Each structure stands twice: as structure tokens, then as C-alpha cells.
Structure 1
Amino acid sequence: MTVQTLTGERADLLESLGMARYFLKYTVRDLTDEQAAARPTVSELTLGGLIKHVGEIERQWARFVTDGPSAVAMPEDEAGFEAWANGFRMLPGETLASIIARYDEIASETDELIRTWPDLDASHELPPAPWFRPGARRSARRVFTHIIAETAQHAGHADILRESIDGQKSMG
């Protein structure tokens, strides 16, 4: 039996996303749930909430590839905005371990989508939002690079939060 190794563009996407995820998760190593839920800066961000947010955004954008713009539509009512805000928080009953486990499930699903989606050029129109030009489209390729960028950006935020908690850094 021959084992086929993924090469080229898809391998590059997976490697880049894997590295960004690694640094995001490495940042929370050895933290307690209380530390992960702490707000060590003037920002509302917490480490647990940040990982939760990155996972949910990744899930939404992956669903955009498969299902179209309704997967990333803006909240339209108070309940939607509250749910969005809770995506940045560790809620009662949530633990850092449960958030990371959910993030790992989402990551596995996204990785499979990157490996198997038939056409990286396939695109959908973006939903209405102040930051999207009306009628703009995103290909699967562009969505996957966006997920990489989003993860890497928030890994940097996480590094600042972690250093504020106990002086630990992801790099350096």
C-alpha cells in the first residue's frame, strides 16, 4: 500500500496554520483556569476567551467555504451581539481544557477541509459588513489564508496577555 503525502499549496497551508495554532496553544501552557480567565490588561481579552474566539472564527470561516455567506453573517439583534461577546469570554462551567479540546476538534475539521476541498478557487460572495466591499468574494484559498492570519494575530495578543500574567513568553 502506498501512502500519499500531501505536498504543495495545501501542505503549505496546513503547515502555516499548524505553526500559528502551536504558538497560540503554547502560550497557555501550565495555566490554571483562573489565570486563563483573568484580564491582566485594560483589554477585555482573556487567554481562554481568546482561544475560544479563534476557534469559533475558524469554524465560521470554514463553514463559509462549504455553506456560503450565512456562516459568517453579522449578528443582527441583542441576543446575537451577546453571543458574539460571549465568544471572547470563559463562561461559568468552561475550563481551559474544554476550550482547547473544542479548538482541537475545530482544527481537525478545518485541516480535513484544507486537505480535501475540491477547488481552492471556489468562492462565495461575502456577507454585508462595514469592512467588506459590496459584492466582494472570497475563495477557499483566501479564507484559509485568512484563518492563518487571524490565528497568528491572536497568538501575538495571547503572548502579551501571558507575559502580563506571569512573565512567561511564547518566544524569546
Structure 2
Amino acid sequence: MTTTRTDATPATPATARPAPTGERADLLASLAQRRFFLRFTVQNLDDEQAGRRTTVSELTLAGLVKHVAVMEHQWLDFVLVGASAFDGGMAARQDEFHGGFRLLPGETLAGVLDRFDEVARRTERIVAEVADLDDAHPLPAAPWFEPGASWSVRQVLLHLIAETAHHCGHADILREALDGARTMG
């Protein structure tokens, strides 16, 4: 059994589990592929380019990477502790986006990518350690969730795959507007 620290990161078990196989491996590989596409989209950019708005949207390439990392971290907190991972509601989550989809003074693309990779490693550890992909928690009350619905670990992973792919499409548009590079087509 794995113990949980107060930061909702699982402690290292006495004996490490073997690498995931089967469905767990497939879900993690699919998520990793989407993360790769997002990372690929920001390759060879400097901080100014990664932080530049290239459309009428507030989105920036670095901001999308930050958002995906925050979202993934919070959803894995949900896997560990349930709906309390979302205490404070969406306003609190928006604050976690560090001022929106942009780099703040002192932040760098390299730092954002390091955090992105750290969150990915955490996700892989948690998915390897969770007892069952069918383990579920009730979702927090929100207009976009069906009242009383619960999500399993599997549903959280599918959601993360879809959301990351969704943001890869945004990133591709932003990158093409920035310098003409097309990473998804």
C-alpha cells in the first residue's frame, strides 16, 4: 500500500511496482505522445517567442504548456484525494495558471518545460501505483459535470489525453502564426 504525503504526491513504496503494462501502459503511452507533440511545438523557441501572443486570444505557447501541467497535476490530485483537489473552484485554478496562459516575469520556457516533465513523471508514478483503474471519486459540483457523476482513474486519463490533444491543436495554430512552423500537419 502506498502512503500519501500532504502535497498529494505518493511516497515511494518499500518495493517499487514494475512498469505498467496492458491498459495502463497504453493510456500512459497515449498521454505521453500528446505531451511529446506539445513539447515538439515549442522546440527551438526563446522565451520571448514562447511568451508572445500571436492571435487575438490570450493564449501563448508557454502558457499552454503551463496550463496542461497545472491541469494534469490537479487531475492526478483528484485521483488521489477526490473532489477536494478542486477546493476553491475554478477561480483558484485560474490563479494556479500563474496569471493566465503566459510567462510571468522571471519565468522561462525551460522552467515551464521542466515543470511539465516533472508532472508527467508524477502521473506515471501514480498510475503505476493506483490499485485499480476503476477506482473512482465523485466529481466536484460544476456546470460542466453531470450532478452526482463520478470519474474513475481511467476516465481521468482519457480526459487528460483529450485535453492535451486539444491544446496541441491550439499550440500548432499559435506556432504557425508565430513563425510559419507547422507541427501537426
TM-score normalised according to structure 1 size: 0.91
**2:101 and 2:149 mapped to 1: Cα distance?**
27
Residue aligning to 2:175 = 162
Residue aligning to 1:68 = 82
Pairwise CA distance, 1:6: 3.4
Q: Structure 2 matches for 1:84-99, cutoff 5 A?
A: 84=96, 86-99=99-112
Identity of aligned residues (%): 54
Residue aligning to 2:51 = 37
Residue aligning to 2:162 = 149
Residue aligning to 2:65 = 51
**2:96 and 2:79 mapped to 1: Cα distance?**
20
**1:131 and 1:73 mapped to 2: Cα distance?**
16
**1:5 and 1:127 mapped to 2: Cα distance?**
31
Pairwise CA distance, 1:89: 2.1
Pairwise CA distance, 1:5: 5.5
In structure 2, the CA distance between the partners of 1:122 and 1:51, relative to structure 1 (3 Å rule), is same
Which residue, out of 132, 140, 143, partners 1:127? 140
Q: How many residues align?
A: 167
Give the root-mean-square deviation of aligned CA atoms. 1.7
Q: Structure 2 matches for 1:106-117, cutoff 5 A?
A: 106-117=119-130
In structure 2, the CA distance between the partners of 1:27 and 1:76, relative to structure 1 (3 Å rule), is closer
**Larger % of helix: which?**
1
Query: Are the counterparts in 2 of residues 75 and 84 from structure 1 also a CA contact under 8 Å?
Result: no
Q: Where does structure 2 lack aligned partners over 5 or more consecutive residues?
A: 1-17
In structure 2, the CA distance between the partners of 1:161 and 1:98, relative to structure 1 (3 Å rule), is same
Pairwise CA distance, 1:144: 0.8
Paired amino acid for 2:166? Q
Paired amino acid for 1:123? A
TM-score normalised according to structure 2 size: 0.85
**2:90 and 2:152 mapped to 1: Cα distance?**
25
In structure 2, the CA distance between the partners of 1:34 and 1:64, relative to structure 1 (3 Å rule), is same
Residue aligning to 2:117 = 104
Pairwise CA distance, 1:156: 0.8
3-state DSSP of counterpart to 1:124: strand
4+ residue stretches of structure 1 with deviation over 6 A?
Answer: none
Pairwise CA distance, 1:106: 0.4
Paired amino acid for 1:144? L
Residue aligning to 2:5 = none
Query: Are the counterparts in 1 of residues 136 and 152 from structure 2 also a CA contact under 8 Å?
Result: yes
Query: Are the counterparts in 2 of residues 123 and 138 from structure 1 also a CA contact under 8 Å?
Result: yes
Residue aligning to 1:83 = 95
3-state DSSP of counterpart to 1:68: helix
Pairwise CA distance, 1:75: 3.0
